Every structure is written in structure tokens, then in C-alpha cells.
Amino acid sequence: MLPKNRRISRKLFKEIISQKKRFSSQNFSLQVASNDKARFAVSVSKKISKKAVVRNKIRRRVYSVIGEFMSETKPGFYLIITKPGAQEIKGEKLRNELKKLLVVSY
């Protein structure tokens, strides 16, 4: 889990979405806004799964991978939005896809 000072509150989501810097992959969409240090949020909608257990599992998997790449990312607000099919991806595939989004894209 990410430390609280590295997470983004929901209040800032509209500001991040309005910045228009977007990147996407097969299972995730990344929206970026400028900031002085790297902060992250993961959004998993009910379209992905109606069950909170499944949504929380996806969120925990993504946050654990983000923790690995936190030092390699540039400063900014990073909002990761999951797409349908994200519940099946895990392990090395998840790590590679998020690395492309977080480190290589931006």
C-alpha cells in the first residue's frame, strides 16, 4: 500500500481529468497533471465488477506495482483508471503494462 502522503484525494480528480494529458494501454488509462512530487490514485468503477471485493483486489494489485516504480516516475498527479478486463491481469503482465504507462509514456 502506498503511504498516505503519496495518494491523491477524490477532491482533486476533476482537476486531474481537466488537464488533458492522457495515456492508455489495453487494461488501464492514465491521466496526468503537473505537481511537485509524484502522487497516485487508482479508480476502479462498478462497470468492472459489482463486487467490492474484486474492485479492491484490483486496486491493491495496482498499488503494489506502483510502489515498485514510485522512484522512477516523474513528479505529478497520476490517476490510473481501470478498463474492463483488468481483473484478469496480474503478475508480470500487470507490472509490464503499468511500467509502460508510468515510466515510459510520461
In the chain, the domains with their CATH numbers are 4-101 (3.30.230.10)
Task: Note the pLDDT of residue 83.
Answer: 92
Give the pLDDT confidence of 79-99 residue by residue, as tens digits: 999 999 888 888 899 999 988
- The rounded mean pLDDT for the chain is 88
Q: Which residues touch 12 (CB under 8 Å, ≥6 apart)?
A: 33, 77
As a whole-number percent, the residues of the chain with pLDDT over 70 amount to 98
Task: Note the pLDDT of residue 80.
Answer: 92
- Burial label for 84, CB within 10 Å (0-12, 13-18, 19+), is exposed
- Is the model's pLDDT at 58 over the cut of 90? yes
- Is the model's pLDDT at 55 over the cut of 90? yes
